[in-house]
Amino acid sequence: MGDIYFVRHGQASFGEDNYDRISETGDLQSCALAEYLCNTGIAFDSIYCGTLDRQQQTAERFINHAAPRKSPPYELKFRPELNEYNSREIVRHYLPIVLRAETPHIFNLQEIYRDKKAFQKIFHSIMLKMVSGKYEFSGVESWESFQTRVRTAIKKIIAENGAGKKILVFSSGGPIAAAVQAALDISGEATLRLMWQIANASITRFKYNAEEFSLHSFNNYSHLLFYKGKNITTFR
């Protein structure tokens, strides 16, 4: 069977003017990931990436680290289908529904985009509404559409590479969770519970053949636990 290794990008710059770039910690995580992947000795047949900056920056750390050992160097193939959902648009459209259903003072609305815990609390409620499938907004990707986008991307990648290949994919927590949902056929709520556990710069591995796409291992971030004597694990 072939293998697809999904990697979540290094920590993004939450609370900064430009969220879509890896933070200083995210850069360290990307370096730890690059070293770990190179030390495994795996020769990847193809490498794919979304078009978001944080995904590309994480991928580039690996490609640059692998360059002295890889000739010709790895070619990075971009697929926008591997991008994360648009969280700001989701919040903008679903927040009023959440506030109607729950007591508004539970959430500190002023702190949503500055405080990770405040954002996580309200965003979980918002995502529960989204995965329920009960609401649709023009111009906003539904969870069903998001799932379809990710599943289509996986099918295309498998078709492009054929059987028995080792494929590396740099993406985000949402697409990785959607891939796990496709492999395990679990509910949207169960998928969310898994998604919140996906660490930055972690590795989730899938096996595939012509008939099957299955989960092999989930959320490996062992390379972050003792990097240069420090635990650099983050989840947001």
Do β-strands 213-220 and 76-78 pair in parallel, antiparallel, or remain unpaired?
A: unpaired
| Residue 108 belongs to a domain | yes
**What is each CA distance from 105 to 7, 21, 115, in whole angstroms?**
37, 32, 16
Q: What is the CATH number of the domain that holds 185?
A: 3.40.50.1240
Give the CB-side neighbour count of residue 76, counting CA atoms within 13 A.
19
The pTM assigned to this predicted structure is 0.92
Containing domain of residue 33, as a range? 2-83+143-224
The domain total for the chain is 2
Q: In which band, very low, low, confident or very high, does the pLDDT at 23 lie, cut at 50, 70 and 90?
A: very high
| Whether 147 and 215 share a structural domain | yes
Question: pLDDT tens digit string along 203-223?
Answer: 999 999 989 999 999 999 999
pLDDT at 103 over 60: no
CB 51 within 8 A of CB 76: no
105 confidence band (pLDDT: 50, 70, 90): low
In percent, the amount of the chain with pLDDT more than 90 equals: 75
Same domain flag for 60 and 118: no
Q: Is residue 115 located within the same domain as residue 175? A: no
